[in-house]
Amino acid sequence: MRVLVTGGAGFIGSQIMTALLARGHEPLVYDVHGDPASDVRSPVSVRAALAGVDAVCHQAAMVGLGTGFADAAQYVSRNDLGTAVLLTAMAEAGVRRLVLAGSMVVYGEGRYECARHGVVRPGPRTVADLDAGRFEPPCPVCGAALLPGLVGEDAPVDPRNVYATTKLTQEHLAAAWARATGGRAVSLRYHNVYGPGMPRDTPYAGVASFFRSALARGEAPRVYEDGRQRRDFVHVRDVAAANVAALEAGSRDGALTTYNTGSGEVHTVGEMAEALASAYGGPDPVVTGEYRLGDVRHITADSSRLRAELGWKAEIGFAEGMREFTRTH
């Protein structure tokens, strides 16, 4: 299969290129960082890149929580306008297979259960609560403590920041494209991806990268809130393998199928900081109590649908992956 990988020179995209080659496919890199003309917002450039292509793996995006609302227009332009231009060109070229880099951020907070009221959906945490160190969202009905759990693909979506909103819009565009063309679209809702080649020292880098950079400078990782935020950290090579599985598998014509893409292991942000510090030989993490408005408290995946339908499973465990991450750049 000839596969155009947008963002193919990036953190996840480059690993997908390697995985596709290993499976005997012909990946084509399309990345503005390698070639400024390779911009998914350029109809002429995209049309030329799609010549002879069988499928598209769309990884190109502006990622991360960013710097507040000031960069909203950039997010919408790069993520949503870029996706619309790409899908329009795919429709014209007759390319009918798409795998999209989705994100777990579309859910907002994860799944919560109240002892009295069952499964509930807490709203955004207030500044007053966060300032007071009350980081756990309460039951929206009675105010009681909640038990976090795994969120499935059928959970309601509730994006809490600009990036999350653009990722959900990408899925809506992909679904509309699939219905209009009879195409096959898959969105892999990535959880917290880490591993070799991860961006570092920018406002858009992931928390694992921030911690590793601090340790490399001989500084203690600074952990926000109380460090007990639950996440699913999934290795980039496992994510690349999921993309290949999605490209090779059959999917429904004229529809978008979503899959959570996580390791299946739940760990806290504090546990990750401790694992990285231990692998580096210190210094120990510092829990700051600081917070970022727009962050969610707990979000962990139920990835059983991906395992059951595509035969994929994460191969790289948390401890092994964190040890390797400290040795890579």
Please list the active-site residues. 163
User: Are the CB atoms for 277 and 221 separated by under 8 Å?
Assistant: yes
Q: How many CA atoms does the CB half-sphere of 110 hold within 13 Å?
A: 22
| C-alpha span between 130 and 112 (Å, rounded) | 19
Phi, psi for 301 (deg, rounded to 5): -100, 150
| DSSP SS3 for 79 | helix
User: Are the CB atoms for 262 and 193 separated by under 8 Å?
Assistant: no
Both tokens assigned to 291: 């917070």
Write the single-letter amino acid at 150.
L
User: Are the CB atoms for 104 and 167 separated by under 8 Å?
Assistant: no
Burial class (CB in 10 A: 0-12, 13-18, 19+), 151: buried
| C-alpha span between 302 and 295 (Å, rounded) | 20
State the Cα angle at 188 between 184 and 192, rounded to 5°. 170
Cα separations in angstroms, 258 against 112, 193, 268, 297: 21, 17, 25, 23
**Residue 156: partners with Cβ closer than 8 Å, 6 or more residues away:** 107, 121
